[in-house]
Amino acid sequence: MFFNKIRQTAAFAVVATLAAGAVAAETEVKLGYALAPDSHYGVAADKWQEVVEAKTDGKFKFRHFPSSGLGGEREVVEGLQLGTVEATIVSTGTLSNFVPATGVTDIPFLFRSLEHARHVLDGPIGQEILAEFDDAGLVAIAWGEQGFRHITNNRNPIETPEDLAGMKLRTMENPVHLSAFNALGAAPTPMAWPEVIGALQQGTIDGQENPLSVIVSAKLNEVQKYLTLSGHVYSPAMLLVSKPFWDTLSDEDKAAFEEGATEAVVAMRAYVDDVETSGVETLQERGMEVNELSEEQKAAFRASVESAYEGYYETYGKDLIDRISATE
């Protein structure tokens, strides 16, 4: 009896030691993103976590920081460079400050459709841009998606470029967006996302521009009256990993993160596809006044930003812009 108890105690000790070792072996992955858990960012984050944890037998434990829980997007990306944050899902509007080539995706009226944009980003051009992140101390694993950007505001419906005159419009801290809205006669106001809702409530700005995926998930109808379906810019996102963290991973672990990111993008695009068809009705039901620009009206907006294209050619090269336009 005495020896049985000793054996049982020893067995429990072994199990406890193994369990403690398993816990100790878990590596935390802090994953920060700007939007709510029920957004397209949250859907992608959940899928990324699911796949990585399954492929690595729980070796990695994801800890989500949605709704800018680690700060604005720029702060989070800087955290990745320092190695204090392991991963993020982030808009490309912020990334042009770190890898200028990403700014080419923000050129207004460059992409014809979601299909066109996906072909560009999944093809050679997109992969060439991803490769440039290594020099910035970042690992760009995959292109995510947000959809085409539209304008919301509290001042007036927008049907012509003149309707934007002097409008204080929040934009991302992105030179491409700034030059486009300056050309349209608006008063673009760069602002980090965590500050936007408060600024709209206080009337510091008149409006903002974002894809339907953001407008719906962030419930911008609560602080904005008018929505204009302008589709002026396609808005990708990106799944990034900290290079200091990446360099500690085995090839098998890296493959798990890459596979997880690939599946996360599929989930993210499915969310965008859904909201592109259902989002307008949802926002109208919530009380927003919605108007969609006709092709003739869009042509007037395109003509108004033509002056900015010379600057885009100088910055990104006419050949690259033409390659994007020519992609089928």
Is 19 contained in some domain?
Answer: no
Is 6 contained in some domain?
Answer: no
Q: What distance in Å separates the CA atoms of residue 77 and residue 242, rounded to the nearest whole number?
A: 8
- CA angle, 143 as apex, 214 and 152 as ends, to 5°? 20
Is 88 contained in some domain?
Answer: yes
Q: What distance in Å separates the CA atoms of residue 308 and residue 109, rounded to the nearest whole number?
A: 12
pLDDT at residue 193, rounded to an integer: 92
Domain span at residue 244 reads 27-326
Is 5 contained in some domain?
Answer: no
For the cut 50, the answer to whether the pLDDT of residue 74 exceeds it is yes
* Best CA proximity match to 29, nearest among 104, 85, 80, 73: 85
Average pLDDT over residues 57-73: 96
pLDDT at residue 101, rounded to an integer: 94
For the cut 60, the answer to whether the pLDDT of residue 16 exceeds it is no
pLDDT band at 93 (very low <50, low <70, confident <90, very high): confident
Is 316 contained in some domain?
Answer: yes
What is the maximum alpha-carbon separation in the chain?
Answer: 92
pLDDT at residue 172, rounded to an integer: 87
Is 3 contained in some domain?
Answer: no
pLDDT at residue 173, rounded to an integer: 84
pTM score, whole prediction: 0.87
pLDDT above 90 covers a percentage of the chain that reads 88
CATH of the domain at 122: 3.40.190.170
Is 129 contained in some domain?
Answer: yes
Q: What distance in Å separates the CA atoms of residue 280 and residue 277, rounded to the nearest whole number?
A: 7
pLDDT at residue 2, rounded to an integer: 40
Is 2 contained in some domain?
Answer: no
* Best CA proximity match to 34, nearest among 182, 178, 192, 141: 192
Q: Which residues contact 22 (CB under 8 A, 6 or more apart)?
A: 58
Number of domains in the chain: 1
